[in-house]
Amino acid sequence: MSDKDRPAVGVETVGMTKIFGSLTALEDASIKVRPGTLHALLGENGAGKSTLVKCMMGFYQPTRGKLLVDGQEVVVRNPRDAMAYKLGMVYQHFTLVPSLTAAENLIVSRPDCPSVIDWKSEIGALEAFLNRMPFKVPLRTPVSSLSAGEKQKLEILKQLYLDRRFLILDEPTSVLTPGEADEMLGLLRGMVEAGEITILMISHKFREVTAYADEVTVLRRGRQVGSGLVKDLTRDDMARMMIGDTKIRERAARTSVEKSATVLDLTALYASDDDGLPAIEAIDLKVKAGEIVGIAGVSGNGQSELVEVLSGQRDLDDGRILIHGHPFEPSRGAMAKLKVFSLQEEPLRNSAVPRMSVAENMALRSFDQPPISRSGWWLKPGPMKAIARELIARYRVKTPSPETPIENLSGGNVQRAVLARELSGDVDVLIVANPCFGLDFASVAEIRSQIMDQRNRGAAVLLVSEDLDEILELADRVAVMSEGRISYVAPIGETDRQTIGHAMAGHH
């Protein structure tokens, strides 16, 4: 079917179903991706998007259903079979080897990699290949020192280098600035229109779907709930299909706070990353009571190091943190005294003990104080459980019991449990990092309104987020971090997406 000039491959699934034990992860999904189109796959976490594409790629064997490549029914038993049909996938986490250079990564990914590599001719061939490609990547640099955007481009280049003609991209723009995302999707769109490739893109950004995709398929709870041409659908239509009739908590309204005092005052903070290189430099920032300052930026520009410094997980090289005018050393005593709390990204990894119970995890801030402890060292499980039960009810944490290990909870519920722990007391300063990453709509709404509640109650909130929409929704002021520095600060009313995106890309 595919001729020489338009080598793009089309893929179709018919009644694809995948059952894991008692869980039906995917039911009766029939999607048709025409050759030379950009097809978007929408859905919340756990809607079955990755199950569907993994069935296509041969990572899973579907329980039922057929796979058609260019109209022919095929059986894909493993990723190698998928390779033979020119199907390729770019994962959300990178599958590049960090210590190898870009060129080495490309060569070693080839099935016919020569046993002794003639670098002179290989580099020549790679350069010739790159000249035909819409984007460029430095070949001789180790992947570990490439930027996230370059890595993402290299991942896609790798698929093209291996002559894959049907690409599945899993949230390809999550690590890019809005500008980079537009550039890359625009170039890919060009290749699609030229009939060189077909793209199936998993996304949750409506903006990108409406701007670049031809067709869309929406999954919800493992079922295909809608599909059609993008031009026939509005964002509201797509959002409704994704969410269904789930009740979403009303967003907490922003109350106006009268002029208030500075609570959190950061002066000339410097810290290094794990390699000893400067990670944050000369960070100056003030957060007032009743204010949310949102820190935007592409991941890896020092935001996580800043959060680690503020929560005592990384040493400060230089600089001063003042809270209410008192010098703040992030020790347990100072945090309790100055009422500093934090909600870290990936809480299961960063601020919870996975195998401890929900009740114990909820008590991590308070187990050394009454009523849980007597004279600071004797723990009383009764009050601990009682407090946990109350928090579980108040923050709607779905858990079988307070004794369940917290690692058994879903992502949204871990986040709620940690949030419950951090917000249960009186909060003066709240540090939040990517609080809604990978959560479903209901949890996102819940957590964002909790953060807004704290602001309205007069807490100073520092919100670090890679999701620009989240910052635009919550923040009173925006600061942009780029290469470890704060490159741009503006009140939310005096800025817009383009300006922030521009600052994120390092132009200012």
Q: Are strands 11-20 and 64-69 parallel, antiparallel or unpaired?
A: antiparallel
Position 84 contacts other proteins (CB under 8 A): no
Position 346 contacts other proteins (CB under 8 A): no
Q: How far is the CB of 314 from other proteins (least distance, A)?
A: 8
CA 178 – CA 298 distance, rounded (Å): 9
17 token code pair: 């179903």
Map the footprint of other proteins across residues 416-455, applying CB under 8 A: none
Q: Report the residue number, 59 or 367, with the smaller CB distance to other proteins.
A: 59
- Residue (of 141, 173, 45, 152) closest to 95 by Cα position: 152
Q: Which residue has the tokens 């919550």?
A: 474
Number of residues counted as binding other proteins (CB under 8 A): 25
Q: Report the residue number, 232 or 275, with the smaller CB distance to other proteins.
A: 275
Q: Specify the amino acid at residue 151.
A: K
CA 432 – CA 311 distance, rounded (Å): 10
Map the footprint of other proteins across residues 168-197, applying CB under 8 A: none
Position 77 contacts other proteins (CB under 8 A): no
Map the footprint of other proteins across residues 218-277, applying CB under 8 A: 272-276
Q: Find the part of the chain contacting other proteins (CB under 8 A) among 90-98, 358-366, 380-388, 475-483.
A: 90-98
Position 124 contacts other proteins (CB under 8 A): no
Say if residue 276 is exposed, middle or buried (CB neighbours under 10 Å; 0-12, 13-18, 19+): exposed
Q: Report the residue number, 159 or 434, with the smaller CB distance to other proteins.
A: 159
Position 27 contacts other proteins (CB under 8 A): no
Q: How far is the CB of 111 from other proteins (least distance, A)?
A: 8
Angle (nearest 5°) at CA 372 between 370 and 373? 65
Q: Which of 14, 19, 74, 117 binds other proteins (CB under 8 A)?
A: 117
Cβ–Cβ under 8 Å, residues 143 and 96? yes
Q: How far is the CB of 96 from other proteins (least distance, A)?
A: 7
Q: How far is the CB of 427 from other proteins (least distance, A)?
A: 30
CA 303 – CA 279 distance, rounded (Å): 9
- Count of beta carbons in the 10 Å neighbourhood of residue 205: 19
Three-state DSSP state, 224: strand
Q: Are strands 38-42 and 340-343 parallel, antiparallel or unpaired?
A: unpaired
Q: Report the residue number, 116 or 253, with the smaller CB distance to other proteins.
A: 116
CA 378 – CA 362 distance, rounded (Å): 17
Map the footprint of other proteins across residues 309-338, applying CB under 8 A: 315
Position 141 contacts other proteins (CB under 8 A): no
Three-state DSSP state, 25: strand
Position 116 contacts other proteins (CB under 8 A): yes
Q: Report the residue number, 274 or 494, with the smaller CB distance to other proteins.
A: 274
Three-state DSSP state, 425: coil
Q: Specify the amino acid at residue 135.
A: F
Q: Which of 1, 20, 61, 108 binds other proteins (CB under 8 A)?
A: 108
Q: Are strands 278-288 and 291-296 parallel, antiparallel or unpaired?
A: unpaired
Q: Report the residue number, 183 or 273, with the smaller CB distance to other proteins.
A: 273
Q: Find the part of the chain contacting other proteins (CB under 8 A) among 5-13, 19-27, 92-100, 479-487.
A: 92-100
How does 21-34 read in b/e, with b if 16+ C-beta sit within 10 Å? eeebbbbebebebe
Position 3 contacts other proteins (CB under 8 A): no
Q: How far is the CB of 266 from other proteins (least distance, A)?
A: 20
Interface contacts to other proteins, rule CB under 8 A: 79-80, 95-100, 104, 107-109, 111, 113-117, 119, 272-276, 315
